[in-house]
Amino acid sequence: MNKLSNKITIFLLILIITKGVSFGLLWFLPKKPMTIHSSQNHYVKYRRVDFSGMLEYEKSSSTIATQTTNITEIILKGLYGKDDKGFVIVAMRSNPNKTSIVAVGEDFMGYTLKTIFINKVVFYKDGSEYILQFEKSKDFSTMVTQQPAPMAPKTISREKIKYFSTNPNEIWKNISIQEVKEDGMIKGFRVNKINKESIFSQLGLIKGDLIIKANNVRLSSYRDVFNIYENMDKLDTIQIVVLRNDTEVELVYEIN
């Protein structure tokens, strides 16, 4: 009986010791699980702006003046955009300092802006087209340099994006990319090989380009690349910055 009680005491003692060790461990161990932070936003920080909604007031003023304004009374002060995208800065000859911004498709003094060219714009009124050019004045060169027509963003279809994201092998058939490290850190991804017939070439990438940023995220790890890749179907714009001949070149693609 005495032996049995001794053994039970030893077992209980062991339990107490192990429980004590457990409490001791608990003191040093973390009490809560780690919080894993969500990845950064990789959507582009700027987007192309549709001026049509913003410049509604121009329509009301134009309807009042429709009957009285002649195209020769309007002067072109600046332009931004190409073809059917963009806006122009115009003013009345009578008050050249009071400028108005008119987007393509909007009215100014009864004239609808139809097309933008490199140094002229086309307005439309009552079935006729009116070309408005920069006047050959001192202002001309200044205005062109201040407001250069940007390269229109290239477009890529969402179907194509979906196809490549589900068939990555098709990507590697057309383009070969390799990480470039500097001081042990990924500096970017070098385009080592590109099929000239491929969509990647058509989008403006060339052999030797070092892709350093995508949608304003510096590509310093594979995580950054995967974040873009995984969210590709949710994006409506892709902006890529490449280092080409030691110059940063920005390529912007709109996903339709």
Question: Residues in the site for other proteins, rule: CB under 8 A?
Answer: 7, 10-11, 14-15, 17-19, 21-22, 25-26, 29-34, 36, 39, 165-169, 172, 221-223, 226-227, 229-230
Q: How far is the CB of 241 from other proteins (least distance, A)?
A: 21
Residue 73 has a CB neighbour count (10 Å cut-off) of: 13
Nearer to other proteins, 10 or 49 (CB): 10
Q: How far is the CB of 213 from other proteins (least distance, A)?
A: 18
Residue burial 232-255, b: 16+ Cβ < 10 Å; e: rest = eeebeebbbbbbbeeeeeebbbeb
Nearer to other proteins, 218 or 223 (CB): 223
Q: How far is the CB of 40 from other proteins (least distance, A)?
A: 10
Nearer to other proteins, 1 or 29 (CB): 29
Q: How far is the CB of 178 from other proteins (least distance, A)?
A: 15
Nearer to other proteins, 47 or 193 (CB): 193
